[in-house]
Amino acid sequence: MTKTIPVQKNDYIEVVFEDLTHDGAGVAKVDGYPLFVKNALPGEKAKIKVIKVNKGYGFGRLEEILEESPYRVDTPCPIYKECGGCQLQHLSYEGQLLAKEKQVRDVLTRIGKLENVKVHPVLGMSEPWRYRNKAQVPVGEREGGLIAGFYQQRSHEIIDMEACMIQQEKNDEVVQAVKRICTKYGVTAYNEQRHKGSLRHIMARHGQVTKEVMVVLVTRTPDLPNKERIVKEIVEAVEGVKSIIQNVNSKKTNVILGDETRVLWGEEVIYDLIGNVKFAISSRSFYQVNPAQTKVLYDQALSYAELTGEETVIDAYCGIGTISLFLAQKAKKVYGVEIVPEAIADANRNAELNEIDNVEFAVGEAEVVIPNWYKEGIVADVLVVDPPRKGCDDALLQTIIEMKPKKVVYVSCNPATLARDLRILEDGGYRTVEVQPVDMFPHTTHVECVALIELK
Ligand code: SAH
């Protein structure tokens, strides 16, 4: 018997929202049939219009809020609705942290089948604005010059932007200056449809502690007319610039950076500090975007690792060696592995920079390198993983289960793949002791977690 769908397209109905989706929409159920409505909050009663009806779920549009959530706030950012970079500004920060905690708990139960895992309240920021140390904005053209900002939601129309409330002010300043200077020297914007024009993206990186600035101009072709003058004016306009990079991306792609990088001025890297460790960061390397919370995250990982100085540690997906170098100060030996060669070059430079000599880094896939290490007799007492959103490769998880490190510390930017991988480790003889979510991305739906897993 097929269940009939209780609503029809274009119906106006009253609903009460009970949950948020992982992308921040409100969820209401009509006779068990879920409707997803943007901008609605749990606990709210509202009139909605049904705009799409699928077999198992539908979508609605918020028409009128009849009873407001006590956590609803006015959104401070004037471009919040058009931009889509943030999804939760209409929810108070306290409400966001509670929602993220619930999301982690729900996903661990639903996907990981982990009942009763201890999930701590989310560690949030005391000042949750202006936190991002990296901006990458698409460039377009309008009469009168270049614009740069963001793609309007669900389109590739670029909206010009002067300020982003989750960016560090310095990055806004860089984008404004580059826009103005490149307009002055007649640089054209890249046109996606015609695959013509020059400047595709402006990227800015800011060392929060050192105040050093990197500017990256991503262009379609290697030539950049008036290069010297553009560079000179950027250096004069923005205090702290230490590195100006041109990145050439000639492909028809949404991927921002291309393979070719040239230093136009200054250094190849900028430096920043997390705690007492200094890092060199190049244009293509991954570096956590919220430096204040990165410290919180790494301290948590370090505290779970409970190192005494005797341990062999493996740091999988190590990037520029950030976690590895933190751990190395308390371990006997740390092995880091990462797929991006430039990141490993940075990692080696970072080890040297901090005079840390008990680390060894390798370029490659964690799921290939770590099994090889294991064959060579390298066995970790503590294994840290910090994979991208898709989680750990199964081959890596199987090697962990064979290698049997006493502890696994799992740093995750996606609770769904964390839950999936925890289930595999649990079935392989491990126990999830506790999970500490950390809010690295206030006002967005993202949530980072550190999980402590022990051999049973
Ligand atoms: N631990 C680092 C980086 C975490 S981001 C930090 O905190 O800064 C995840 C990293 O995994 C990225 O640097 C990415 O390049 C790398 N990566 C992605 N797939 C990989 C794989 N299969 N093997 C090793 N590293 C990988």
Q: pLDDT for 190-219, tens place per residue?
A: 999 999 999 999 999 999 999 999 999 999
User: Could you list the active site residues?
Assistant: 413
Residue 311 marked in a binding site = no
Let me know: does 384 contact 314? Beta carbons within 8 Å.
yes
The answer to whether the CB of 341 is under 6 A from ligand 1 is: no
- CB-based contacts of 303: which residues, under 8 Å, 6+ apart? none
Extents of the domains making up the chain: 12-67, 99-124+290-455, 134-274
pLDDT surpassing 80 at residue 3: no
Instruction: Give the pLDDT of residue 155.
Output: 83
pLDDT band at 286 (very low <50, low <70, confident <90, very high): confident
339 CA → ligand 1 middle, Å: 7
Instruction: Give the pLDDT of residue 156.
Output: 84
Which top CATH class is 12-67?
mainly beta
The per-residue b/e assignment along 178-201, b for 16 or more CB within 10 angstroms, e otherwise, is: bbebbbeeebbbbebeeeebbbbb
C-alpha–C-alpha distance, residues 160 and 142, integer Å:
9
Tell me which of 286, 340, 440 to substitute to probe ligand 1's pocket, judged by most ligand atoms within 8 Å of the beta carbon.
286
24 CA → ligand 1 middle, Å: 26
Q: Whose CA is nearest to atom 13 of ligand 1?
A: 319
Measured in Å, how far apart are the chain's first and last C-alpha atoms? 45
Instruction: Give the pLDDT of residue 66.
Output: 98
Has this prediction a pTM greater than 0.85? yes
The answer to whether the CB of 396 is under 6 A from ligand 1 is: no
The answer to whether the CB of 339 is under 6 A from ligand 1 is: yes
Considering only CA atoms, which of 443, 406, 420, 442 is closest in space to residue 109? 420
The architecture CATH gives domain 134-274:
Beta Barrel (2.40)
Over residues 332-336, mean pLDDT? 98
Topology agreement, domain 12-67 and domain 99-124+290-455: no
Q: Whose CA is nearest to atom 11 of ligand 1?
A: 317
pLDDT band at 153 (very low <50, low <70, confident <90, very high): confident
Let me know: does 234 contact 181? Beta carbons within 8 Å.
yes
Q: Above pLDDT 90, what percent of the chain?
A: 94
pLDDT surpassing 70 at residue 439: yes
What does CATH list as the number for 99-124+290-455?
3.40.50.150
pLDDT band at 285 (very low <50, low <70, confident <90, very high): confident
Q: Whose CA is nearest to atom 12 of ligand 1?
A: 319
C-alpha–C-alpha distance, residues 220 and 203, integer Å:
14
Let me know: does 147 contact 110? Beta carbons within 8 Å.
no
Tell me which amino acid residue 240 is. G
C-alpha distance from residue 228 to each of 114, 267, 280 (Å): 59, 16, 25
Instruction: Give the pLDDT of residue 81.
Output: 87
Instruction: Give the pLDDT of residue 84.
Output: 86
C-alpha distance from residue 169 to each of 135, 136, 204, 240, 439 (Å): 10, 14, 11, 13, 20
Over residues 403-413, mean pLDDT? 98
pLDDT surpassing 70 at residue 2: no
Tokens 């960061």 belong to 281
296 CA → ligand 1 middle, Å: 19
The model's pLDDT over 341-369, given as tens digits with 9 standing for 90+, comes to 989 999 999 999 999 999 999 999 999 99
316 CA → ligand 1 middle, Å: 7
C-alpha–C-alpha distance, residues 338 and 325, integer Å:
14
pLDDT surpassing 80 at residue 269: yes
The answer to whether the CB of 338 is under 6 A from ligand 1 is: yes
* Number of residues that this document lists for the chain: 456
The answer to whether the CB of 386 is under 6 A from ligand 1 is: yes
C-alpha–C-alpha distance, residues 78 and 150, integer Å:
14
- Phi and psi dihedrals of 27, rounded to 5? -115, 125
Structure tokens at 174: 């860089």
